[in-house]
Structures are given as C-alpha cells and as structure tokens.
Amino acid sequence: MEEELCQPNKCKKGFKIINKKHGLCQLCNEVRLGKEKKIYTLKKVPLKKSSKPIDKAPTKKLQKKRLDDKSMYAEIWNERDHVCEECGTSLGEELQPIYFSHILSKKAYPELRHNKENINLLCPKHHREWEFTDRQHMTIYGKNQHIIEKLRMELLKEKKS
C-alpha cells in the first residue's frame, strides 16, 4: 500500500516542508525516494499569521476626522452645483463621498484636509483620473494649479507666523 504524499507546498500532516521542489515533509520525501519509513517525532509547524492587520475599530481620532469630513462634504454639497467640475455630468441629489476630490492630497497636506478650497466635485471616473493618472490633460488642471499656488502660499504664511 502506497502512502499518500503531501500536497505541493502543504504537508497534510502539518510537518515542516524540507523538499521545497516537491513540497514534501521529511516523512513524505522518504516515501517518494523509496527509503524505509523511520519513526520520527516531528513538531507541527504553526501556520503563519496573516500580515494583514485584523479589522480594528477606528480610533477616536479617525472617527473625528470622518465626522469632520462628512460635515464639510455636506457644507460643500449645499453650496455648489451637483455637477462634475471636469465633464459637467450631474452627480444626482444624493451626497456620495467619492464626489469629493482633494486637490492636494490628505496624506501630503493633512492640514488642508478640511479646507473647502482644496476640494473638487468630480464624478467617480474623473476623481480616479485626478488621483491616479496624468492630470495635466484634464480641463480643471489649470484652475487647480492656481488653487495649489494659493494654498501653498497660505501655508507658508502660517508657518512663518
């Protein structure tokens, strides 16, 4: 009776893989090689924990940021037309966070996160385009360059004072 070998890269017995090419533990590798079966007392290898953190409840600081985001988005939504600033597409009547695009990113400029001037109302397609592609060909690029210059000047003044 032939003994069942390990699945590639996973020993069914839970032992450490010693033959990486075939993904076999020492016992299964000896069966593969036709050697006599010896009695081993091998330790089971615990499974590695995922490197991804487990979803944790947001911190109070993050909860406050999100609440501040929502209130700022509501103010902007009430003040501006509900159309994409790039293509003019209607954004409907229901406020969606995806419509609010930061001109200067929240990560690079956290102090401008809740500055209304730092926000464009964009449809999801153009929001992604502003964030992840070549924004220089977008029609809002020129207007945003003036806003960026103004915001950076304000930041410099604040730092000097």
| pLDDT tens digit sequence for 129-139 | 999 988 999 99
When mean pLDDT is compared across 1-10, 17-26, 89-98, the lowest value belongs to 1-10
Residues 146 and 67 in one domain: yes
Single pTM value for the model = 0.63
Residues 140 and 65 in one domain: yes
Q: What are 121's strand-pairing partners?
A: 100
* pLDDT tens-place string over residues 48-73: 666 666 667 888 998 999 999 999 99
Residues 17 and 89 in one domain: no
Has residue 116 got a pLDDT over 50?
Answer: yes
Whether the CB-CB separation of 15 and 44 falls below 8 Å is answered with yes
User: How many domains does the chain fold into?
Assistant: 2
Residues 154 and 105 in one domain: yes
State the residue range of the domain holding 80: 60-160
Residues 67 and 116 in one domain: yes
Residues 77 and 110 in one domain: yes
Residues 70 and 39 in one domain: no
Q: And the tokens for 21?
A: 């090419």
Residues 10 and 84 in one domain: no
If you average pLDDT over every residue of the chain, what do you get? 83
Residues 79 and 122 in one domain: yes
Residues 44 and 76 in one domain: no
Domain end marker among 53, 74, 96: 53
Residues 90 and 118 in one domain: yes
